[in-house]
Amino acid sequence: MPIVRSSEAVIHEIHGARFVSYATPACGSKELCAWRGEIPAGLKAPAHTVSREEIFHLLDGELLITLDGRTERIAAGDTVIINAGTTLTVENPTDRTAYSWVTTSIGLEAQLADGTRIAPPWAN
């Protein structure tokens, strides 16, 4: 039975945010990956277009989420469904870190506005 203990989670940092990876093929997942996101106060992540659907659940804090140019403020307990091909921006306009839980299918890639493609290790 694959169990990932919190002490075994792999931490990645990119664009000022921290991604704590729990479910990946390396730890036994066959179809899905999942991670906790830590979005520091004041951070605005670069816009990126996702290749796979993501389920983004805000555990704690408040964020501004922009999907294809439409911005919404979300609060703890809210869930955002981000469809494949959507351009996403995440911003934390508050004075404290926000925490999210994200689940997607293995193989997610993100394309930045300049055309750079990223295959995040916490999603592959």
* Class for the domain spanning 10-118: mainly beta
17-21: which pairs have CB atoms within 8 A and are 24 or more residues apart?
17/43, 17/45, 17/90, 19/120, 19/122, 20/122, 21/121, 21/122
Where along the chain do its domains lie? Answer: 10-118
Q: Rounded distance, CA 56 to CA 19, Å?
A: 13
Q: Rounded distance, CA 67 to CA 89, Å?
A: 7
How far, CA to CA in Å, does 26 sit from each of 4, 19, 54, 75, 120? 11, 16, 20, 32, 14
Q: Which residue has the tokens 């169990």?
A: 3
Query: pTM of the prediction?
Result: 0.93
Question: Which residues sit opposite 19 in a β-bridge?
Answer: 12, 37
| pLDDT digit string (tens) for the chain, length 124 residues | 688 999 999 999 999 999 999 999 988 899 999 999 999 999 999 999 999 999 999 999 999 999 999 999 999 999 999 999 999 999 999 999 999 999 999 999 999 999 999 998 888 8
